[in-house]
Structure 1
């Protein structure tokens, strides 16, 4: 029977649990989708759409799109049941979500794929996406220490540094979105202004030599984490000062750990490893499809 695409429903939950049970069977990590599926269904609306592929009354695939800004959408949660892979279901779901985002007036859509997820990388290319950047997570431990450089909370200075940094070019101007967990969107001056009020914007050096911005605190695997949209810096000394400032900021919140998005280059990864002492083993890739407004 050919699959049909429809909006996800609460009674799809058992099917979603089944189809995600062996997604990363070769890795010591569980899929997050069963934990958020009911929230996804509840939150569906003008800026969020969760679809499933239905075969004979059973959900055999799932994907979601979220409108992040007037021009940017984020595609996430693409999963297909192991018995139905290789049949074009992933592309079918993606095509429907692209059409939905285009009708909403969005011009660009993006998604994230773990660098080790060969199937996901191939699926992204097959759906018409192109790889645009890669990043890695650094995790400095919260610690009440004083950096060797002056620390500021000036969004104007942070914006100037960001605009001139090689990290901005490497990341294509993207940083962790302030509204949607695990999504990336274009970092703007307005976002930094808001974060300076609601969260924290950090610069290091009298003439800034690095910047970072905190977007939220969130729970992950039973721990409370402070999440930083991006961290960029000029050299090893600035990296050490910036990660010390991040660690002190996190300590002031009483959280258990941190997650800082950094550019994936040899310089940034090596200096972050030296300065923070803890970075993820593998990078993540960001894919993009442009020109969606022409599809509506």
Structure 2
């Protein structure tokens, strides 16, 4: 059992990488963890806040908070070394991440949990999260048919795009879009224009 005095939550350091990636190799039994693929990107992202659980100088857990705007954020990447699970470390990491969000002024914080990750469902509920929606991932075989032609939209089309999104999702809480991977952010006219200017909408 971990002694509380020996554990503290702190911001990530460059030297934590090898230890974190080592325990992330054993996150799941039947599939590889993606943390190793995104670690360098996460570490260099100024909008992200990675926290680690430090046990006497050794990282044994991690999580990440991402800031989308002044009021909106995303929580992800909760991991705990298998040797130290079920001792409250995940709860401490989550509490620390939520406190960072409060200190940044977040009024909305979202996360995403797989339907197959049944252990996490009651956990996120205990942390104050509530179900918002579901999405499914679909795959298909590659086709030799001609691809569907896409038309590059201009800034003059933003009003039309916004009207279409409102018809598709009349409730404000449903107007979310995927940003920076599998993260959901509220869609607003300002954000729509911003992403259109960066040629991210077709």
Q: Bin the TM-score by the shorter chain.
A: 0.7 to 0.9
Note closer, same or farther for the CA distance 1:73–1:200 as it changes in structure 2 (3 Å cut).
Answer: closer
Q: Which residue in the other structure is 1:55 paired with?
A: 55
Q: Which residue in the other structure is 2:84 paired with?
A: 84
Note closer, same or farther for the CA distance 1:108–1:12 as it changes in structure 2 (3 Å cut).
Answer: same
CA contact (8 A) 1:168 1:174 kept: no
Q: Which residue in the other structure is 1:199 paired with?
A: 199
CA contact (8 A) 1:135 1:171 kept: no
- Cα distance, 1:201 vs. partner? 3.7
- DSSP 3-state at the match of 1:65: strand
Note closer, same or farther for the CA distance 1:168–1:84 as it changes in structure 2 (3 Å cut).
Answer: farther
Q: Which residue in the other structure is 2:147 paired with?
A: 144
CA contact (8 A) 1:134 1:171 kept: no
Matched, 1:161 2:155: no
- Cα distance, 1:54 vs. partner? 1.1
- DSSP 3-state at the match of 2:134: strand
Matched, 1:102 2:106: no
- Cα distance, 1:121 vs. partner? 2.1
- Cα distance, 1:170 vs. partner? 9.5
- Cα distance, 1:168 vs. partner? 5.6
TM-score by length of 2: 0.83
What are the Cα deviations for residues 181-211 of structure 1, in whole angstroms up to 9, with x where unaligned? 3211001112222333332545xxxxxxxxx
Give the CA RMSD over aligned residues. 2.5
Unaligned 5+ residue runs, structure 2?
none
Higher relative CO (Cα under 8 Å, sequence separation at least 6) belongs to: 1
Matched, 1:5 2:6: no
- DSSP 3-state at the match of 1:14: helix
Report how many residues are paired: 192
Q: Which residue in the other structure is 1:37 paired with?
A: 39
CA contact (8 A) 1:176 1:183 kept: yes
Note closer, same or farther for the CA distance 1:19–1:170 as it changes in structure 2 (3 Å cut).
Answer: farther
Residue pairs, 1:125-140, within 5 angstroms:
125-138=125-138
- DSSP 3-state at the match of 2:111: strand
- State how far apart, in whole Å, the 1-side matches of 2:24 and 2:112 are: 18
- State how far apart, in whole Å, the 1-side matches of 2:123 and 2:83 are: 16
